[in-house]
A = this chain, B = another copy of it.
Amino acid sequence: MSSSLEQLKGRLTDVTSLRSAIAVLDWDQQTYMPSGGAHARATTVESLSRLAHEIFTADETRQLLDKAKTEVDPTTDEGALVRVVGRDVDLATKFPSEFVARKTKLAAIAHEDWVKARANNDFKGFEATLTEMFEIAKQEAEYLGYTDHIYDALLDQYEEGATAADCVKMFEALKAGQVPLVKAIQAAKPIDDSALYGEWDAAKQSQFTEFIAKEVGYDFNRGRQDVAPHPFCTTFGIGDVRITTRYKSYIGSAIFGTLHESGHAMYEQGSPADWEGSMLAGGVSLGIHESQSRFWENIVGRSLPFWNRYLPKLQETFPALNGIGVEDFYRQINKVETSFIRVEADELTYNLHVLVRFEIECDILTGKLAVKDLPEAWNAKYTEYLGVTPKTDAEGCLQDVHWSMGSIGYFPTYSMGNVLSYQIWNALKKDIPGAEEGFGRGEFQQVQDWLIEKIYRHGRKFSPKDLVVHATGKPMDPTDYIDGLNAKYRAIYGL
């Protein structure tokens, strides 16, 4: 008779297998599936999702979990597995199935409504659905439970242990540190990056982006890059972590998209090989995940030493870029340009977009703001924080898909990722002096090893908060980030 833990692992293997299959189905849908496949694919994914949920939340799973808890040492990997899976099962069983069905149904309708409303710049046409979606989010928070703030319950699903209070503290610091910097840059001489726009051969973009992804350490024996409308990273196993990119008229679109997704991918590839199939493998939270994508995208990929090394290769691939000096290229890829649109935002203004959403989510959830007044509140905040006022709701409060999907409460993890990327970078530099200069010699191995040692190899073993302290010696603190941004952008803009 095998132990309860072994029996539990057997059950979890089926859940992991079903989830892995769903990930493959989704990857295929976004990369290669012909349009005629959509109907059958929806049915297939629905069946597999339901089967995975049934097995995962079955009484047998919980009974085995309870027994396994008594068999394992909580400080070991197996103890961590029981803890992590216990939390996942708790989250998966908090909601009555009627509620899940209601949310799923509303999300389908809301998505349709949102697409139409955005296309027609018709907020009124979306207002009722969005109001219901926020009601659902409130209900969701009640099912999940919370002590201090309703937002805590929602955020905790994406970032274990993170609270609205953490966010408020973080955003206060970011507002104080970033808004003046953004305003100063808006008043400075703009950077002309028009040379980075053109018609770039897709095959050559593919070749160059795969080259730099390999250079920084993304293992193509355990991954691959394809093309999809929206870049993403997806994990089928530790040995198969894939990314996508896209080819646009802005040459940086593919380059930084690839580096961003490579960061996510290297985190996933960095779990211990013998955790293949274990629910301990992979990234621990959205915030920590984003810290890694942002690290490789911005701190490595938008650094001067990196392009000292790789600009010649880029120019060899695209001779139209010949004649741009590396200092100019560096300035151009770091151009700050305030936009109404979050997904087009640069490194510096991105958090201000997130801040707007966080504050509005809190205000609606706590009843301070009615959904009908959202457009006005949205525009006021954009004017205050970013210095720009959306001319329409389509480029204002209707721009994001997330609320229509019922994803309320996770935007702050993007900003946490930004903040943590610099905090981790400063900790890394203490252990590896000269790491940045190393980029100019193509030296990434030591950096990669440090990240594996401090973060990647732990998978989901520690809570995100514990992991941050473990890796950087302190809890999340926006100081490193604000100082880093100020130093970088004041130099670039001569402020």
Contacts and interface: CB of A to CB of B under 8 A. Distances in A.
Interface in A50-84: 50-51
A40 interface: yes
B36 A239 contact: yes
Given A18-B48, A47-B18, A236 B24 contact: no
B36 A28 contact: no
Contacts of A122: none
Contacts of A240: 33-34, 36-37, 40-41
Contacts of A219: 36
Q: Which of A32, A36, A38 has the most CB of B within 10 A?
A: A36
A43 interface: yes
A21 B44 CA distance: 7
Given A25-B24, A240-B37, A43 B277 contact: yes
Contact of A41 (B16, B34, B37, B236): B236
Contacts of A34: 220-224, 239-240, 242
Contacts of A25: 21, 24
A17 interface: yes
Given A24-B25, A24-B28, A224-B32, A238 B18 contact: no
Interface string A187-227: 00000000000000000000000000000000111111010
**Which of A22, A44, A47 has the most B CB atoms < 10 Å from its CB?**
A44
A238 B220 CA distance: 33
Nearest to A223: B34
Interface residues of A, number: 43
A411 B357 CA distance: 64
B39 A276 contact: yes
A97 interface: no
A346 to B, nearest CB: 33
Nearest to A203: B203
A2 interface: no
Given A34-B223, A34-B224, A239 B24 contact: no
A34 B27 CA distance: 14
A449 to B, nearest CB: 19
A277 B242 CA distance: 29
Oligomer: number of copies: 2
Contacts of A39: 237, 239, 276
A35 interface: yes
- Main SS of chain A's interface residues? helix
Contacts of A166: none
A186 interface: no
A224 to B, nearest CB: 5
Given A40-B239, A41-B240, A240-B34, A51 B223 contact: no
Contacts of A242: 34
A56 to B, nearest CB: 13
A13 interface: yes
A39 B236 CA distance: 11
A14 interface: yes
A317 interface: no
A44 B20 contact: yes
B276 A239 contact: no
B222 A13 contact: no
Given A28-B28, A36-B237, A39-B239, 20 more contacts: A16-B43, A16-B44, A17-B44, A17-B47, A21-B22, A21-B25, A24-B28, A34-B220, A36-B222, A36-B239, A36-B240, A37-B222, A37-B236, A39-B237, A40-B236, A40-B237, A40-B238, A41-B237, A41-B240, A44-B237
Interface of A: 13-14, 16-18, 20-22, 24-25, 28, 32-41, 43-44, 46-48, 50-51, 219-224, 226, 236-240, 242, 276-277
